[in-house]
Amino acid sequence: MSREKVSKAKLVPLSELVSLKGKRALVTGSGAGIGKAIAYRFAEAGADLELVDIDVGSLDVVRQELERFALARATIA
């Protein structure tokens, strides 16, 4: 698959594929990168999140963003 096709691909909202309402997810490395992306997708599907990262500053930013967009209740562990 060419880079052009990949960059134009759209993600289907995870909430259309599966519901995580009433579930709690522990996401490690959620302050950046893949962990952050997973946290956003799980939040989008309705999960309550426990966020873990060694960088507390970036972790708090992610938590605030998720709560500002009302995607999830997130606590920092």
Once rounded to an integer, what is the mean pLDDT over residues 64-71? 80
CATH number at residue 29: 3.40.50.720
Write out the residue range of the structural domain in which residue 69 sits. Answer: 21-76
Looking at the structure of the chain, the number of domains it has is 1
**Residue 66 is assigned to a structural domain of this protein:** yes
Listed residue (33, 30, 31, 38) closest to 11, CA to CA: 38
**Residue 3 is assigned to a structural domain of this protein:** no
pLDDT of residue 31: 94
Q: What is the pTM for the complete model shown?
A: 0.74
The alpha-helical segments, DSSP class H, found in the chain are 3-8, 14-17, 33-44, 56-68
CB-based burial, 20-34: b 16+ in 10 Å, e otherwise: beeeebebebbbeee
Task: Give the pLDDT band of residue 62 (cuts 50, 70, 90).
Answer: very high
**Residue 43 is assigned to a structural domain of this protein:** yes
**Residue 5 is assigned to a structural domain of this protein:** no
